[in-house]
Structure 1
């Protein structure tokens, strides 16, 4: 099977994961498939060893009673063991159920019960305790602990270490994969990915062999460098997330790309510095954090270094203006920029491990224009794309060399994919990588999939040059008491342009005016406070500092100047804590759970509104205010 000859996702219609895995094993048995860091040392694993571990585990699952179509949950941090478990489940004919490793016992209980999982993998002792505390563990045939250092003391009878579960099995990997390849069909469901919904319980998106392979193939269309070059990628997002799973599991089957797993995803910044990836995909928040680190370094240099940096930025602005204008670049400016890049910008990029980054994309949230331009001034070809779990890959991508923020590009250069916009502005998509429905949710499936089209729920506009711009989620519209309908997402994007603001939540449904809850960027704002010798040592101090409040007030005023009167923020509060999945107000991919956010910070929100008029009317009508 010549994977390199595949030019369209449609050509994967009759292909399965075990077939491609076996092709890799046959073509490059002694080549390195991935690398894992353990106890401070990097370990390279060949395709031969990788396939052997997968075949052994898959055989053990089948021996333990796993049937075709049975569901198997994985809850754990990104690691080679997660990858092996995922591959083994799919190659054995099972259905992998991804569970975020930070999930609560209640969330785990929902996923296990809803999916009907019969086996589960726990990444570590911590995740094992969560599964055991979910109330669903006794219904599982076996819980396999992936951590090779797990001691295994005082556990229920159905809990076993990975090595103990596989025992002495020594499968013939090639024969096993060939056999499973003949038994599998591209239309077989191989995984259920639970979307972290902003409201209600998560929905399990069912993905087939075709879904995950055609979805991964979308990445090969992002530019000629994706297919022509060898790449290094750090798997730093949870592997139950579509992007991380593709980077680790499916992209290496169709591209010359090597995944790297650090000690843990909590150490992702150090891992990136060590690996120096050539391909990176992450939400804007990651780029904002790294940019803040670089700026802190640039501003902390000697007087001469700061002068050199400012001069280099002036040259970079001229060079970027030339590139974006599409005119012939000024040779003198181009040569100066190359010197600046080599002597100033690349050493700064090396501070975060980005000095060899060739392909950089962002998705899942709007990229602030200033942040995107900053990376481009430093010489990084940062671009945006659009995707979601239900279409696995991406259907929109910025193809221009130096694009501006504010759009998500144009439809994929693959005739197998189609993108259309309905009269109400909703974008719909169809193509080979779509999911096939929500597990146990027939009505939601009927709503999302109609006549082969995925109804994305996202409102878009197409500009005069064919570029798509995301406007809002179809159902995320605020209707104020004044009768105005506004998009909270657009306003939040404007507020997040500030380097001192990492997140904003606009409030105003049924209210007279709009307000906002602000999460400040801890790194940038702390550096700002330290430069003024303010007595601030932790995040909560920022929310209580009057000087910091004045700083954010000025940043919100800048955003208001770019907004229509009905969209302007009349008041705000700095949140006393950083938003996170752990406090229930964010999904693991940093999408806001608006309902939970409103409930958690209700007392703080109430301080933003003067309800004296409402209370006066209630009192007049005999109701308690």
Structure 2
């Protein structure tokens, strides 16, 4: 199949914008809880729709009183927290446009987002955020007039300032935006070059939210709950945040993923959303803990059974009696404990931001958590396609959502159009012409559509490696399999213009101590472990397994374990945990040269 077009389930109503979701929820007789916040004792307390709307309106009036006009840009820099969403909707109620800033951003990155977008004001979560914003503003001479902290005192300042703005003035401002109006400028996380501002409209959020709710009712149902831990500056979390309000789903927030398990247990969500690396870490942590406790063989058998049980359901099949009995036994021994560790009520997970891989997808389905893998970009307001509970093919990223379309170009590139696609790149008309053809947006990804319209991602067009022998290699297929190993943290496949394919590998700092102890090795640092014979043999075995899925010309024939991990803090990962290949190649180019200056390895 070369093209799949799915008509919308919910038609557009032009006189509408994202703020209508808040108004509609607040006007329901049930006054549903839209959010939950921790009180001083750490207990979760409901924030109901009427109270949320009232506070949004107070802050929006404060913004108006402070000079924020229709269409003005306002920056938001904060960790993932309730106040992020409160301020976001207040900006929209005031008729303005929000500009997210990752809370890990440097002053130069902050200055770019605020300066390029033309922001005249900004929010920072804390005093340190405010200081960084002011440093950025002063260093570049930006026309940012106000910087507010998202603390109780900072927001109270706005609430008080808005007392003189009437309800009629606010309603006129709130209702002025249409589906065509700009809602936000989200800057791409920048794996290549300087971030580009993606113009997402109210229509993108409204149309995509309403059609997603209609298509995935089993997940986004009244009474459903989720806990948000991904950065709200990223389009994936931002879209789900709006979608949750549209669906009446309750959201709790946790800013630190290190507290995720206790937060899951206390909040007890019915679904979660995460990037593939989070699912890899959950699996690898469970495996490592089992091995450290001497239960590695039991866990391995349980994992194999879960994967086999899930795979048996492919194409409408079902597992045989023996497999069902083993699955039931491991459910009592292993799977139930894993579900309890995640709160005990999770039925679904939504995965985006990169390929998950079949093995992990089948594992989580087999333990009772169906991972609905989807695909999208900042430019597409997140999801273009997604698996749904009633239409799922593990290993794919699903079929296009209602209102979206996918086309596979002659060179394999994925093109898309529909309610998800942005208005354009902010002040980059030349890039607009490059990335759109007859209304179809060029995603830059390579993929395939199966006969049922399910999409599979096979690589990134700009990341395709062409060896000296002219062989095209998609690194993702190898990297995803290698990175799934508990001892491996990151891997970057290299070989552009070179005689063979190689790889840079980093080790997982949390998994390493237990692995060394189980293998009778002394405690070693990450740098020291890279030279350890057993560690290298293990990494080689992992690579050998991955090589079995590709041709000899595509196989990794040499690797190096680099002495440090690739992290967001080191500048080698984006906030959504994608590898910045250009940065890795710049910082570890000498290691790559060592690989290719060494004696040529024998063919695999």
TM-score scaled by length of structure 2: 0.90
Count of matched residue positions in the alignment of Structure 1 and Structure 2:
591
Q: Is the 8 A contact 2:486 2:511 kept in 1?
A: yes
Query: Aligned equivalents of 1:409 and 1:190: distance in 2?
Result: 27
Query: Aligned equivalents of 1:432 and 1:13: distance in 2?
Result: 13
1:255 aligned partner: 247
Partner of residue 105 from structure 2, selected from 98, 103, 106:
103
Partner-residue secondary structure (3-state), 2:11: helix
TM-score scaled by length of structure 1: 0.87
- How far does residue 191 in structure 1 lie from its aligned partner after superposition? 0.5
Q: Structure 1 residues 434, 349: CA separation in 2 closer, same or farther (over 3 Å shift)?
A: same
Q: Considering Cα pairs closer than 8 Å and 6+ residues apart, tell me whether 1 or 2 has the greater RCO.
A: 2
- How far does residue 455 in structure 1 lie from its aligned partner after superposition? 1.7
Partner of residue 582 from structure 2, selected from 589, 595, 601:
595
Q: Over residues 495-545 of structure 1, what are the superposed CA-to-partner deviations in whole Å (9 max), with x where a residue is unaligned?
A: 334333232111111222221111223333432222234333654443343
Which consecutive residues of structure 2, in runs of 5 or more, have no partner in the other structure? Answer: 1-6
2:314 aligned partner: 324
Q: Is the 8 A contact 2:284 2:485 kept in 1?
A: no
Alignment of structure 1 residues 507-518 onto 2, 5 Å = 507-518=494-505
Q: Over residues 448-493 of structure 1, what are the superposed CA-to-partner deviations in whole Å (9 max), with x where a residue is unaligned?
A: 2333322212121223454322122222221222222222222323
2:396 aligned partner: 407
- How far does residue 64 in structure 1 lie from its aligned partner after superposition? 1.0
1:623 aligned partner: none
Query: Aligned equivalents of 1:554 and 1:283: distance in 2?
Result: 26
Q: Is the 8 A contact 2:61 2:165 kept in 1?
A: no
Query: Aligned equivalents of 2:100 and 2:265: distance in 1?
Result: 28
Partner-residue secondary structure (3-state), 2:71: coil
Q: Structure 1 residues 375, 63: CA separation in 2 closer, same or farther (over 3 Å shift)?
A: same
2:440 aligned partner: 453
Alignment of 1:32 with 2:33, yes or no, is yes
Query: Aligned equivalents of 2:66 and 2:97: distance in 1?
Result: 15
Q: Is the 8 A contact 2:91 2:97 kept in 1?
A: yes
Partner of residue 380 from structure 1, selected from 369, 380, 392:
369
1:83 aligned partner: 85
Partner of residue 346 from structure 2, selected from 357, 369, 391:
357
Alignment of 1:276 with 2:268, yes or no, is yes
1:153 aligned partner: none
Q: Structure 1 residues 476, 330: CA separation in 2 closer, same or farther (over 3 Å shift)?
A: closer
Partner-residue secondary structure (3-state), 2:530: helix
Query: Aligned equivalents of 2:598 and 2:568: distance in 1?
Result: 32
Q: Over residues 397-416 of structure 1, what are the superposed CA-to-partner deviations in whole Å (9 max), with x where a residue is unaligned?
A: 2347695654222222x2x3
Q: Structure 1 residues 404, 522: CA separation in 2 closer, same or farther (over 3 Å shift)?
A: farther
Query: Aligned equivalents of 1:270 and 1:540: distance in 2?
Result: 32
Q: Over residues 362-408 of structure 1, what are the superposed CA-to-partner deviations in whole Å (9 max), with x where a residue is unaligned?
A: 12212133222222232221231111111114222234769565422
Q: Structure 1 residues 429, 79: CA separation in 2 closer, same or farther (over 3 Å shift)?
A: same
RMSD: 2.9
Alignment of 1:576 with 2:563, yes or no, is yes
Query: Aligned equivalents of 1:476 and 1:300: distance in 2?
Result: 37
Partner of residue 145 from structure 1, selected from 143, 149, 152:
149
Alignment of 1:485 with 2:472, yes or no, is yes
Partner-residue secondary structure (3-state), 2:463: coil
Partner-residue secondary structure (3-state), 2:113: helix
Which consecutive residues of structure 1, in runs of 5 or more, have no partner in the other structure? Answer: 1-5, 150-160, 614-625
Query: Aligned equivalents of 1:234 and 1:167: distance in 2?
Result: 31
Q: Is the 8 A contact 1:37 1:262 kept in 2?
A: no
Alignment of structure 1 residues 193-342 onto 2, 5 Å = 193-221=186-214, 223-248=216-241, 250-262=242-254, 264-265=256-257, 267-301=259-293, 316=306, 319-324=309-314, 326-328=316-318, 330=320, 334=324, 337-338=327-328, 340-342=330-332
